[in-house]
Amino acid sequence: MPRIYKKNCDTCGLPYKNQNEFYCSGKCRPSWNKGTRGAMGLENSHPNWKEDVGYSGVHRWLVRNFGKADCCENKECSYPRKNTKGVLLQRPKSFNWALLKGCCYEKVRGNFVKLCASCHLSYDKGDRVIIV
């Protein structure tokens, strides 16, 4: 006959039968890291924090802090419009974070603008001026 272990929950005091646990359920188990922001507190006080990061690091920071680019901030964006095959396009399919000309890749939101793919391409070529 197997041995039955009866323990009392550390939180609520009710008996339970699992020998490998200290709590009767997940509701009684405390979450040890609830409400904390990591081991060092703020992200820039962490010893591995880098202020000068590259292209991908800045874009990850933008998405983490401001979300994915979901609209075109160019006021002269030409949608709805017809594509080369004559099909009416109501809305762009993709959006990008674009670096403004004359700015550096830094963790500053003012250096970037949300653009649709067509505005971003023409802005990088120099064909179009962005009006935000």
The domain locations on the chain are 52-125
What global pTM score does this model have?
Answer: 0.59
What are 53-68's pLDDT values in tens digits? 788 889 988 999 999 9
- What are the distances in angstroms from CA 111 to CA 19, 56, 57? 57, 15, 14
What are 68-125's pLDDT values in tens digits? 999 999 988 888 888 889 888 888 889 999 999 888 888 899 999 999 998 899 898 8
Distance, in Å, from the CA atom of 10 to the CA atom of 116, rounded to the nearest integer, reads 55
What are 2-12's pLDDT values in tens digits? 555 667 777 77
Distance, in Å, from the CA atom of 111 to the CA atom of 100, rounded to the nearest integer, reads 6
CB atoms within 10 A of CB 65: 10
Which helix (H) or strand (E) segment holds residue 118: the answer is: helix 117-125
Phi, psi (deg, nearest 5) at residue 55:
-55, -55
